[in-house]
């Protein structure tokens, strides 16, 4: 039977090192099955060829995302936003986590679509992420009712320059409801078939991530994402660790029940010389910790911002594996995270309580963003 396609108002944004389709919340079906069908069709998923050729997706996790935004009724927020990570080869629509990169486009979308208009000049929009139930403050500039996206800031992984957007995650710990250390310990002992036992830390700040030593898998963190992706035994072992951590952090009852998007798993190492994906030489003195993060069973080409917020928290909390492996830390200056696309600078404000626990006040990062196109997206 021939059925005409439907069309839905949408905006296509780049946020940081990701891209996503944005909708007003009222244009997204309330029924979960209907909503997920629409999102998969918009992205071109599932695609056994891994290209998402029949939709707006780009065949990798950072290009297969959707957001929807509405005016907030909360006293501490101006807008509410929801994030969905759409599978590429499968039919998964995962809403278990937030996307920090695309969070940089939420406030511009809200302002430009009239969801939350603000006057020209410096602006701050308070955003409530419904996935993690956390507040993020976006600081940017507005001119003629539009977010200024042109500027002189360059971020690793994005060609060209843009206007800076500062994102502050307020009280970011405990998205899983168990505090910044969801297992209750600074370090755990993990194991994986073929790789034996090794230490690891599970940290929850803006997102949950388990950190394990790259050396346990024969890596240095100088490797490219593509090289690690091709190491099938290593990738299978990392997925094993990720699912184990999901149970330990209270995110899943069994390893098989773990969501695809949360927790994440990352291999870490002390700083080492490496080349970015653009060919830039990075020296060990240029950064504090080397990281390669797996996302949806592939190594991310940069680092997710919510992942960077978790890494930042782990860097400043004494006794985590990340803190132990870091070099040249200055907690009064930027934290520098070495990733495949370059060095990401972040900040974290953490305070140790008298009982030895940690209070994570905020984490921050800068991103750039750009509205690419708007109109209607067609789908069955």
Q: Which DSSP helix (H) or strand (E) runs through 106?
A: helix 106-112
Residue 24 · residue 10 · CB < 8 Å: no
- pLDDT (0 to 100) of residue 296: 80
Within 10 angstroms of residue 26's Cβ, the number of other Cβ atoms is 9
The 10s digit of each residue's pLDDT in 176-185 is 999 999 999 9
The residue among 261 and 196 whose pLDDT is bigger is 196
Q: Is the pLDDT of residue 295 over 90?
A: no
Angle at 15 between CA 10 and CA 21, to 5 degrees: 20
| Cβ-count burial 175-191 (b if 16+ within 10 Å, e if not) | bbebbbbbbeebbbebe
Residue 100 · residue 83 · CB < 8 Å: no
Interatomic CA distance for residues 182 and 204, integer angstroms = 7
Mean pLDDT of 93-108: 96
Residue 370 · residue 165 · CB < 8 Å: no
Interatomic CA distance for residues 142 and 120, integer angstroms = 5
Q: Which DSSP helix (H) or strand (E) runs through 162?
A: none
The 10s digit of each residue's pLDDT in 43-75 is 999 999 999 999 999 999 999 999 999 999 999
Q: Which residues touch 218 (CB under 8 Å, ≥6 apart)? A: 234
| Cβ-count burial 144-161 (b if 16+ within 10 Å, e if not) | eeebbbeeeeebbbbeee
Residue 130 · residue 175 · CB < 8 Å: no
Q: Is the pLDDT of residue 1 over 60?
A: no
Within 10 angstroms of residue 137's Cβ, the number of other Cβ atoms is 18
Q: Is the pLDDT of residue 2 over 70?
A: no
Place of tokens 């995110």: 251
How far is residue 282 CA from its own chain's centroid? 23
Mean pLDDT of 75-91: 98
Domains with residue ranges and CATH for the chain: 6-174+368-379 (3.10.310.10), 188-360 (3.10.310.10)
**For residues 81, 363, 152 and 116, what is the CA-based torsion angle, rounded to 10 degrees?**
30
Q: Which residues touch 53 (CB under 8 Å, ≥6 apart)? A: 44, 47
Q: Which one, of 16, 14, 39, lies nearest residue 27 by Cα?
A: 39
- pLDDT (0 to 100) of residue 374: 98
pTM of whole model > 0.75?
Answer: yes
The 10s digit of each residue's pLDDT in 249-268 is 999 999 999 998 899 999 99
Q: Which one, of 239, 182, 212, 207, lies nearest residue 309 by Cα?
A: 207
Please, is 297 exposed, middle or buried when counting C-beta atoms within 10 Å of its C-beta (0-12, 13-18, 19+)?
A: middle
Place of tokens 């509405």: 70
Share of the chain above pLDDT 90, in %: 95
Interatomic CA distance for residues 2 and 23, integer angstroms = 27
- pLDDT (0 to 100) of residue 284: 98
In eight-state DSSP terms, residue 119 is -
- pLDDT (0 to 100) of residue 4: 87
Q: Is the pLDDT of residue 287 over 60?
A: yes
- pLDDT (0 to 100) of residue 332: 86
- pLDDT (0 to 100) of residue 42: 99
Place of tokens 């505090």: 179
């Amino acid at each position: 039977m021939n059925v005409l396609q439907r069309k839905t108002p949408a905006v296509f944004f780049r946020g940081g090192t990701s891209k996503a389709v944005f909708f007003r919340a009222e244009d997204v079906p309330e029924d979960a099955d209907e909503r997920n069908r629409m999102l998969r069709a918009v992205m071109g998923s599932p695609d056994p060829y891994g290209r998402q050729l029949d939709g707006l997706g780009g065949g990798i996790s950072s290009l297969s995302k959707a957001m929807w935004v509405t005016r907030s009724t909360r006293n501490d927020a101006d807008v509410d936003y929801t994030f969905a990570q759409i599978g590429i080869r499968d039919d998964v629509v995962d809403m278990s986590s937030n996307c920090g990169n695309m969070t940089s486009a939420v406030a511009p979308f809200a302002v430009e679509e009239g969801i939350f208009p603000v006057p020209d000049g410096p602006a701050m929009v308070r955003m409530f992420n419904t996935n993690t139930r956390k507040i993020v403050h976006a600081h940017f500039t507005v001119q003629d009712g539009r977010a200024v996206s042109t500027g002189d800031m360059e971020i690793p992984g994005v060609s060209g320059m843009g206007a800076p957007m500062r994102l502050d995650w307020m009280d970011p710990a405990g998205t899983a409801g168990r505090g910044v250390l969801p297992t209750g310990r600074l370090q755990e002992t993990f194991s994986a078939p073929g790789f034996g036992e090794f230490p690891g830390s599970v940290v929850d700040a803006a997102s949950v991530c388990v950190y394990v030593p790259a050396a346990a898998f024969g890596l240095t963190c100088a490797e490219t994402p593509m090289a690690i992706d091709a190491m099938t035994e290593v990738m299978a072992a990392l997925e094993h660790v990720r699912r184990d951590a999901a149970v330990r952090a209270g995110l899943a009852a069994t390893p098989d029940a773990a969501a695809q998007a949360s927790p994440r798993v990352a291999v870490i190492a002390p700083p080492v010389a490496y080349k970015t994906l653009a060919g830039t030489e990075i020296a060990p003195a240029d950064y504090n910790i080397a990281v390669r993060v797996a996302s949806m069973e592939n190594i991310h080409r940069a680092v997710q911002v919510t992942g960077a917020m978790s890494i930042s928290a782990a860097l400043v909390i004494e006794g985590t594996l990340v803190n132990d492996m870091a070099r040249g830390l200055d907690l009064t200056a930027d934290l520098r995270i070495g990733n495949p696309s370059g060095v990401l600078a972040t900040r974290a404000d953490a305070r140790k309580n008298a009982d030895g626990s940690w209070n994570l006040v905020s984490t921050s990062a800068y991103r750039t963003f750009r509205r690419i196109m708007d109109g209607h997206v067609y789908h069955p």
